[in-house]
Amino acid sequence: MKFTKYLLFLTFLMSISLFAQASNTVVTEIDYFNALRYTGARNIARTPEGYAVVAYEPSFSGYTSGQIWYAYFNSSFGTWDISELSSTSTDQTGIPALVADDAGFIHASWKERITLDSGERQLMYSKLTFNDEFTYTWSTPERVDTFTLNNPGVNTINLNDSDNPFMLYSIWDDGSVYDANIFSTNLKSDGTWETNNLTVEFPTPGVLPFTYMDMNLATGSDGEMFATWEDKPTEIVNQYEILFSHYIPSSGWSKPEIVSPLFDGVGIEKYIDGYTPTDGAVAIYNMGPASYELAGNTTVIYNETATSKTVVSSFNPYYTFPEDNQQQYLTDVINFFGVTNADSILLVDDDNRYNNEGVIQQAIETLGIPYRTFDCGDNGGMATDIPSYSNDLAGKKLVIWFTGDEYSNLAFWNIADTVNTDLKAYLDDSGSQLFVVGKSWMYDRYGNAPDTLSNGDFAYDYLGISMYNVQSWTDDGSTGVPQLDKVDNTLGVSTLETIGWKNSGTRQGVPSIATDPSYKLHMVYKDDSDGTIKYQTYNEGVWSDAMRIDASADTAYVDRPNISVDPNYGVYIIWREETVILDGKTLYNVFYRTSPDGGATWNEPVQLSTADYINGDGYSTYRATIGIKVRPEIAGKFSGGADVVWVQASEASSMGYHIMYGNIPYVGTLTDVKENGGIPNEFKLGQNYPNPFNPSTAFTFSIPNREFVTLSIYNALGEKVANIVSKDMEAGNYEFNWNASNLTSGVYFARLSAGKNIQVQKVMLLK
Query: What integer pLDDT is reported at residue 20 of this predicted model?
Result: 65
Q: Within a domain: residue 10?
A: no
pTM: 0.69
Beta strand 308-313 with 432-438: parallel, antiparallel or unpaired?
A: parallel
Residue 422: which H helix or E strand, with range?
helix 421-427
Question: Are the C-beta atoms of residues 422 and 434 closer than 8 Å to each other?
Answer: no
Q: Are residues 512 and 629 in the same domain?
A: yes
What 3-state DSSP class applies to 423?
helix
Query: What integer pLDDT is reported at residue 5 of this predicted model?
Result: 42
Q: Is 431 exposed, middle or buried (0-12, 13-18, 19+ CB in 10 A)?
A: exposed
Distances (CA, A) of 541 to 250, 628, 754: 18, 23, 21
Q: Are residues 386 and 248 in the same domain?
A: no
Tell me the CATH number at 710: 2.60.40.1930
Question: Are the C-beta atoms of residues 288 and 528 closer than 8 Å to each other?
Answer: no
- CA gyration radius, the chain: 30
Question: Are the C-beta atoms of residues 516 and 219 closer than 8 Å to each other?
Answer: no
Q: Within a domain: residue 11?
A: no
Q: Provide the residue range defining the domain that includes 698.
A: 670-765
Domain end position, chosen among 478, 500, 522: 500
Tell me the CATH number at 620: 2.120.10.10
Q: Are residues 54 and 179 in the same domain?
A: yes
Please give the DSSP secondary-structure letter assigned to residue 213: -
Q: Are residues 350 and 201 in the same domain?
A: no
Beta strand 508-515 with 308-313: parallel, antiparallel or unpaired?
A: unpaired
Characterise 465 by phi-psi region: left (phi > 0), alpha (psi -120 to 50), beta (else).
beta
Q: Are residues 590 and 510 in the same domain?
A: yes
Q: Are residues 528 and 446 in the same domain?
A: no
CA distance 387 to 444: 19
Q: Within a domain: residue 122?
A: yes
Q: Are residues 169 and 58 in the same domain?
A: yes
Q: Are residues 147 and 245 in the same domain?
A: yes
Query: What integer pLDDT is reported at residue 332 of this predicted model?
Result: 94
Domain end position, chosen among 470, 500, 530: 500
Q: Within a domain: residue 652?
A: yes
Diameter of the chain by CA atoms? Answer: 101
Q: Are residues 410 and 455 in the same domain?
A: yes
Q: Are residues 319 and 446 in the same domain?
A: yes
Q: Within a domain: residue 228?
A: yes
Residue 359: which H helix or E strand, with range?
helix 358-367
Question: Are the C-beta atoms of residues 706 and 542 closer than 8 Å to each other?
Answer: no
Distances (CA, A) of 447 to 185, 410, 451, 472: 43, 13, 9, 8
Q: What is the identity of the amino acid at 651?
A: E
End-to-end CA distance of the chain: 54
| Residue 268 CA from chain centroid, whole number | 21
Q: Within a domain: residue 247?
A: yes
Q: Within a domain: residue 2?
A: no
Query: What integer pLDDT is reported at residue 726 of this predicted model?
Result: 82
Q: How many CB atoms lie within 10 A of CB 84?
A: 11
Q: What is the mean pLDDT of each run of 10 residues along the chain (767 residues)?
A: 40 45 90 80 95 86 66 90 80 84 95 70 92 92 83 88 94 66 91 91 75 86 94 64 93 90 49 87 89 83 97 82 79 95 93 78 93 86 87 96 76 78 95 91 73 91 91 50 83 86 65 94 89 91 91 82 96 95 86 93 94 90 95 91 96 92 94 71 91 90 91 90 85 88 91 92 92
Q: Within a domain: residue 16?
A: no
User: Please, which contacts does 706-709 make with residues 24 or more away whose CB atoms are closer than 8 Å?
Assistant: 706/730, 706/731, 707/754, 707/755, 707/757, 708/754, 708/755, 709/752, 709/753, 709/754
Question: Which residues, including other chains, have CB under 8 Å from residue 65's CB and lie 6 or more apart?
Answer: 57, 58, 59, 91
Beta-strand ranges (E) seen in 362-458 are 371-375, 398-404, 432-438, 451-452
Domain end position, chosen among 454, 482, 500: 500
Distances (CA, A) of 201 to 21, 25, 181, 254, 731: 47, 46, 10, 11, 38
What 3-state DSSP class applies to 715?
coil
Q: Are residues 159 and 203 in the same domain?
A: yes
Q: Are residues 533 and 476 in the same domain?
A: no
Total structural domains in the chain? 3
Query: What integer pLDDT is reported at residue 9 of this predicted model?
Result: 39
